[in-house]
Chains A and B, each alone.
Chain A
Amino acid sequence: MKKKIIASMIIGSFALLSAGSFNAEAEKDRKALTEYFVKKFADRKNASQYFPYTPKEELDKNFKWGLKPEEFRLGSYAFNKGGRAQYEEIIEMPPYEDAIDEGKELYEKTKFKNGKSFKDCFPKPEIAGDYPKYVKGKGVETLTTAINSCLKENGEKPWKMTKGKMAKLEAYFAAASREAGKKVNIVIDSKEAADAYARGKKEYYSQRGYLKLSCASCHVQGAGQRVRNEYMSPLLGQTTHFPVYRLKWEGLGTLERRLKGCNKDQGENPHKPGSKWMNELAYFMAYMSNGLPVDGPDVRK
């Protein structure tokens, strides 16, 4: 009996060790990225090294320094004093509140034709921080594709992946996760998952489109610099606050909607929401925010 217990303990610890090792590269990346951003926004003295084109006066007046990793969930409002003041005024009466209520109703009252409901697919609503996840045989599933899988598996028509009902239901999931104090918890526990992460990472850092920009050009090296009057947000914390109410959209949109827009801004024919390319990109991006609090839905310009 004792022998059996010891043997199963050894097997168990091997399984645990190998499961842990699948995220080794991702953990190394996440730590380096966090360290880079903390260093970049650490203090005014070293700023010219990271912001060579930003006028000194702007660095003195407009920037908040000494940021902690958790603060990056606010995107550019973490360091942009002017933007932060406007943001705080807007969230006094958040424009997404009705959407949360409508999302809750969709979650609790939608009945599928077969008698089942969203609760059969997602027994608890505080799941926003657990997606995207790698599902064996399916590949990476974002919260958006998981909701559509639930609809399809129950004989329903899938929803539009960028806005509308999808964004509302996600807003409710995000709000419930925030209220429950959930953190981003992306898991890489197999070789297939690690490969999907690696592909997403490669795409994130590859220059593309007629402007030859990578996602990182703006959101890693370029984060904190301005394009016209807007500061570019950092990759760290970027997926924590979706879905977002964008003033430009005059409505709520999913992460897929934003990624499609970024892709277009690079000068490329955007990849489709729900495509393998976009799901794996989101998987990489979300892993970079692992451990940060879920902070959606939120408002952005």
Chain B
Amino acid sequence: MRPMHPRRGLTTKMSVMIATSVRLSRMSGSPQPAAAARDIRVVDIVEQAFSSGSEDGLRRAFEAHGSLVHTMCARAHPALAADLTQEVFLAAWRAHERFDPEKGPLAAWLVGIAKNKIVDSYRKSGRQVPTISDMDGSLLPSIPQTGSAVDQLGNRLLVTEALSSLGDRPRRIVELAFYEDLTHEQIAERTNVPLGTVKSDIRRGLMRLRRYLEQRDD
């Protein structure tokens, strides 16, 4: 631990950084997965607080996943995004006893609830569930696969959550395998990582993706 003495004479750079730290209006987040999460235990604290119904469980869940849920609602149903986000967290909180961290992450459980709330909202108003708007309001190309556009959006957001929860090296290796179609041997050669590590990183990456995408609520 460093000694507790005031430090004087910060650089101009630091001053500028402080000045720019004023909260900006929304659209936060980085275009690429940012620094990796490496402390799963801390995430579990949020899930445990939530599932046990402890007093700050709702706050912790909202702090950790409010942006994910609101992003999903804002992209799927911009006009009702705030109401839907609110409904998702209240429905989740009322049902907190049914959330089981063993079956999957809280983020995936909340996205599942959000998907149902969004679709219900369109059905109640007699409107067809639309294609999904891009961040700038333009429409994404229609998605031909089975499953609704809302499902697809939820799955893509959960992929970003899953990949962002991997460490830098495994995420890079998974990206090389998926985006660039490299073989395990080619990845090992390019990254200078032992072949066995490459294989285990990819295996763990697939497990992490399935954990986020295949959660059951039963």
Whether chain B is bound by chain A comes out as no
Taking Cβ atoms with an 8 Å cutoff, the residues of A that contact B are none
